Structures are given as C-alpha cells and as structure tokens.
Chains A and B, each alone.
Chain A
Amino acid sequence: MNTPSKTAKASESLDPREELTDHLGALRAFALSLTRNGASADDLVQDTIVKAWSNIEKFERGTNLRAWLFTILRNTFYSDRRKRKREVADPDGVHAAALFEKPAHDGRLAMNDFVRAFDQLSPEHREVLTLVGASGFSYEEAAGMMGVAVGTVKSRANRARARLAEMLELEEGEDIMSGPDRNSLAVMGRSGVAAA
C-alpha cells in the first residue's frame, strides 16, 4: 500500500517522502555552501536523505519540507564536525581572514575573488549567509533551522558580511562601483582608502 494512485486531498495525504526528489538540488547546494567540497557535500546529502526517510513521521505536514530537510542537513554537518574535532575552532573566521590575500580589484568585485573570500568564512557564517542571503529564507525561518534567536541570526549575518567586506576590501566610504584608479588605490592602502 505504498503509492496511493489517486487521492482527494493530494498534498495532505501524499507521503512527503515522495517529494524528497524535488529538494535534492537545493540540499546539495546548501551542503556545498557548508562543506565547500563536492565529495563531502554528497555524503552529507546522502546522510540527510536516509535520516529524513527514516524519521519522516517527525515531519509536521503542512510545514515547510525544505526547511525541515535543511535543518537535518545542518545538524548532521555540525555533529559530524564535532565528532571529528579536527578543525581549529574559528567561528568568526578571524584566523582564516588574517591569512587571506586581498584581491587587487579595480572597481568591480570579481566572482572568483568573492568565492575565494566566501571559502575563508567559517561554516557558521557561510550557513547564515546562504540561508538568508541566497536561498531566500526569512530571518525567522533561518532562526528556526539554526536553533537560535532571530537577533542572533541578524547579528551573525552582519558579522559575516562585514568579514567578507573586509577581506574583499569593500571599505565603508569606498564606492567600489565608481572604480578608483587601481594604482592609486594600491599606493594609498587600506587606511588611505577609508579616509578618502
């Protein structure tokens, strides 16, 4: 009795497991934003699918299935990470940012520079930016998924943006779209640009 062929109230009575396929792409994109590595992302998605399948009775029908799946995925990611404990704790990415070689941008933010900077962020920062900046979840939804207060989501997102801006030399007061002369920018250095 697994596939109800024709049912009156389709979305209500359909097994949500039938809908998992629709979310695979988004799960993988989210996993990539956390792991920044294709193989690890795929493993994470695989674990998420198995967990979602076997715990489907915990999914509240009528709520956002994608948000539920994302929650499983990020919880799995962080618990795996705690178990391994290989990485140096650097939740704000301070250490990583210090090692970052600043781009020589000439008024336009190049995609590869952005990706390089994004890679340097902590997973916590990549997570919050992906949820609220890229995948279109609200701060409230993100707070639910991350298991923190809405205010925490907002301040974490602000810190993550500030970190990116710092790495990419998007200083306040510097309008990078106006494209200052590349040479004078290099000569002035960061403090000069900020004061300009």
Chain B
Amino acid sequence: MYSDMADEKSKSSIKEQINENLKRVYEEALQEEVPDRFKDLLAQLKAKEGGK
C-alpha cells in the first residue's frame, strides 16, 4: 500500500518534470524570430486577392 502511494507520487512528479521540459522546448521555439518569408508570403497572398 505504501509503495503504491509512492509510485503514484513519483509518477506525478515524472509527469510534472516532463511537462516542465516540454514547455521549455516549446517556449524556446516560440522565441525564435519568425522568418520574413511568412510575412512576405501573406503580403503576396493579400496583393493577389486585391488584384482580382
């Protein structure tokens, strides 16, 4: 019974640690600058639309 509780506890701590690291990886990717090509692409798409 004790070990069941310990298992549950360590399972949730593992989950927390994994989530923490996942967030860090994701945040790092979010902080990278968005390449200009995407803004250029949106501008092009918009210009094409306007020309119709």
Contact = CB atoms under 8 A, between A and B. Distances in A.
Contacts, number: 89
Q: How extensive is the interface on chain B, given as a class?
A: 20 to 34
A33 B29 contact: yes
B18 A133 contact: yes
A172 B11 contact: yes
A20 interface: yes
Contacts of B32: 25, 28-29
Given A46-B37, A111-B21, A28 B29 contact: yes
Interface string A156-170: 000001001100001
A135 B26 contact: yes
A26 B29 CA distance: 8
A164 B18 contact: yes
A26 B41 contact: no
A interface secondary structure, majority: helix
Interface of A: 2, 17, 20-21, 24-26, 28-29, 32-33, 42, 45-46, 49-50, 53, 109, 111, 114-115, 118, 129-130, 133-135, 161, 164-165, 170, 172-177
Interface of B: 3, 6-7, 10-11, 13-15, 17-19, 21-27, 29-30, 32, 34-35, 37-39, 41-42, 45-46, 49-50
19 contacts: A2-B49, A21-B42, A25-B30, A28-B29, A29-B26, A29-B29, A45-B38, A49-B38, A53-B42, A111-B24, A115-B25, A133-B18, A134-B19, A134-B22, A170-B18, A173-B3, A173-B6, A173-B7, A173-B10
Given A20-B42, A173-B10, 8 more contacts: A32-B29, A45-B38, A118-B21, A129-B18, A133-B18, A134-B25, A161-B14, A175-B13
